[in-house]
A and B are shown apart, each in its own frame.
Chain A
Amino acid sequence: ILNVEQSPQSLHVQEGDSTNFTCSFPSSNFYALHWYRWETAKSPEALFVMTLNGDEKKKGRISATLNTKEGYSYLYIKGSQPEDSATYLCAFQAAGNKLTFGGGTRVLVKP
């Protein structure tokens, strides 16, 4: 059974502050690490797919890093805005296409 853990489970951020949170995953049989943003009552939205150790990806104020040797990825939000409030999911992909999801980090940005 693959163990994909995200921490913290939830966090409150003041508007304008930056924040980050973690996804840990097995360091063996690694193929890719996916990040999704999931707003209530909407579809999970793909943010990043990361494959290489040391990878860094950026989309606007959101960025992510990847360490496959130690099995973790960080997601960063710079200058948080209320529209960043969502649950952020990471998903581990071994060989084969199925994704194993973490439990998510619920981010609430307070104006």
Chain B
Amino acid sequence: NAGVMQNPRHLVRRRGQEARLRCSPMKGHSHVYWYRQLPEEGLKFMVYLQKENIIDESGMPKERFSAEFPKEGPSILRIQQVVRGDSAAYFCASSQLAGEVQEQYFGPGTRLTVT
């Protein structure tokens, strides 16, 4: 049973470019969460998605960031016009069900470096 997959593992972008981070949840999981770890900080919640729906985006920056989880394919976290402050590790997690306490299983993360 493959775990949560994220790609790429490392991504380098120049300021102003776009970054696309992909997350494939565990098999059978339909809930995806994105977390960000800025340098010297802890993991911070960004967004919670179910298939084709954004459930909670209270942790997403208001501009340049968007997320989707289409009916088919991985979840995508998109950062437009990246700035140096976007350099961080971005982690995706998935869970099976909502409405009850569930473990969230984490992927290995994508380390974004903005030059």
Contact = CB atoms under 8 A, between A and B. Distances in A.
Given A31-B101, A97-B95, A97-B102, A42 B42 contact: no
B107 A43 contact: yes
Interface residues of B, number: 27
A98 interface: yes
A43 B108 contact: yes
Interface string A88-111: 010101001111111110000000
Interface string B87-115: 00001000100100111111111000000
Interface stretch (B14-22, B53-61, B75-83): B53-61
B3 interface: yes
A97 B107 contact: no
A97 B107 CA distance: 17
A32 interface: yes
Interface of B: 3-4, 31, 33, 35, 41-45, 48, 55-56, 58-59, 91, 95, 98, 101-109
